[in-house]
Amino acid sequence: MTQPLIKVANLTRIFDVSKPWLNRIIEREQKQYLRAVDDVSFEINKGETLALVGESGSGKSTIAKMLVGLLSPSKGAVLFDDQPMRMDTSDEMQELRKRFQMIFQSPYASLNPRWKVMDIIAEPMTVLGIEEDQNQIAKRVDELLVLVGLSAADGAKFPHEFSGGQRQRIAIARALSANPEFIVCDEPTSALDVSVQAQILNLMRDLQDELGLTYLFISHDLSVVRHMANRIGVLYLGALVEVAESKALFKDPRHPYTRMLLDAVPDLEMAGREHKEIEGEIPNPINPPSGCTFHPRCPFANERCKNEVPKPVQTQTGFAACHGVEEGRI
């Protein structure tokens, strides 16, 4: 068994979404809280890709931000190689920060338009104090550009001279420049066209094999996730409802929400197939349903599901949080 690189324990994040103080007084309203992430625990082993899938509002990006210390958890902790992740700038944190990086969704927003590509890629090295020598930095930037499939001469250009796919390659080069072990990828291809998406996904897999990277891959697209991940976690309203190995999840999904998601994905192989009717939409996370939050949309829901929050039940390759699975009726 490989050692887990990341341990996430009972991670919870609550946002205060109250109206301003004066409005609350006049309208006699209570403070309102949104549980964006609710008691999420998982581990990521060295060299593996864990994917988190979920629809909008399921807490994917909030988890990603807490994992790299861009957001502090309300409860719970993130352990990176057994060291707790914090948001301060202590020496230990700076040392820890060299070991992980993040790739963002939109390569249009994540690259500074006024910086040259070589400066963008060099920034993590200088900020984290990894390399001081300018010649060494320039050499490393050239290497990185070639590694992600661009040419060394591209370093002198500005981001606007590149297409979306090329920009995402630059973002990947930047993430790699500090030699991280772990990269959080938050919807890295959802702003790209399919043929470009394929290039980026292949590149990310090649880099993983070459450099032994560990990925947390966040996406709303199940077919992309299937292609990238070893294990998959399914999020619904901030909670992990099912975790399983990739193959097992697609072959034998246990949680009713996972089944529904799989059934909803339009797929090439399924031309002319009839969809099962899907009920309802994601409820408002400020006022989530009682018990199992999925029960209003679940075809298997009963009295217990309405009242009692389900606990994770062991499955073959992971767990599912469902009363139906526990009772053996699903």
Partner 1 sequence: MTNPLLSVKDLVIEFPTRFGPLTAVDTINFDLAPGEILGVVGESGAGKSLTGSAIMGLLDPPGRIASGEIWLKGERIDNLPNEAQRAIRGRRISMVFQDPLTSLNPLYTIAEQLIETIRTHLKVSESEARKRAIGLLDDVGIPAAERRIDDYPHQFSGGMRQRVVIALALAAEPELVIADEPTTALDVSVQAQIIDVLKEQCSERGASVILITHDMGVIAETANRVAVMYSGRIAEIGPVKDIIQNAMHPYTVGLMGSIPTLAQEEDRLVQIPGSMPRLNDIPQGCAFNPRCDRAFEKCRIDRPDLIDQGTRQVACWLYDETVLAKGKIA
| Contacting positions for partner 1 (CB under 8 A) | 55-56, 163, 165-166, 193-199, 201-202, 205, 220-224, 226-227, 247, 250, 260-273, 275, 277-278, 281-282
- Residue 38: name the closest of 18, 19, 53, 57 by CA: 57
State which residue, 16 or 269, has the beta carbon closest to partner 1: 269
Closest CB 209 distance from partner 1, rounded Å: 11
**37: its two tokens:** 């992430």
Closest CB 109 distance from partner 1, rounded Å: 17
Closest CB 216 distance from partner 1, rounded Å: 18
Sign of CA dihedral 14, 17, 20, 22: negative
Residue that has been written with the tokens 């992600």 in this structure: 148
Closest CB 80 distance from partner 1, rounded Å: 29
C-alpha distances in angstroms, 248 versus 81, 196, 242, 270, 275? 28, 28, 11, 20, 22
DSSP state of 86: -
State which residue, 1 or 271, has the beta carbon closest to partner 1: 271
Closest CB 55 distance from partner 1, rounded Å: 4
Closest CB 196 distance from partner 1, rounded Å: 6
Closest CB 162 distance from partner 1, rounded Å: 10
**186: its two tokens:** 């938050």
Q: Is 92 helix (H, G, I), strand (E, B) or coil?
A: helix
Long-range contacts of 30-35 (CB under 8 A, 24+ apart): 32/286, 33/286, 34/285, 34/286, 35/238, 35/285, 35/288
**134: its two tokens:** 């300018």
Q: What is the maximal distance between C-alpha atoms in the chain?
A: 68
Q: Is 140 helix (H, G, I), strand (E, B) or coil?
A: helix
**280: its two tokens:** 């309802």
State which residue, 58 or 110, has the beta carbon closest to partner 1: 58
Closest CB 164 distance from partner 1, rounded Å: 8
DSSP state of 163: -
State which residue, 93 or 196, has the beta carbon closest to partner 1: 196
State which residue, 87 or 264, has the beta carbon closest to partner 1: 264
State which residue, 85 or 218, has the beta carbon closest to partner 1: 218
Sign of CA dihedral 52, 53, 54, 56: positive
The contacts of residue 218 (CB under 8 Å, 6+ apart) are 51, 52, 53, 60, 61, 63, 64, 184, 185, 186, 187
State which residue, 12 or 246, has the beta carbon closest to partner 1: 246
State which residue, 95 or 161, has the beta carbon closest to partner 1: 161
Closest CB 286 distance from partner 1, rounded Å: 13
State which residue, 280 or 328, has the beta carbon closest to partner 1: 280
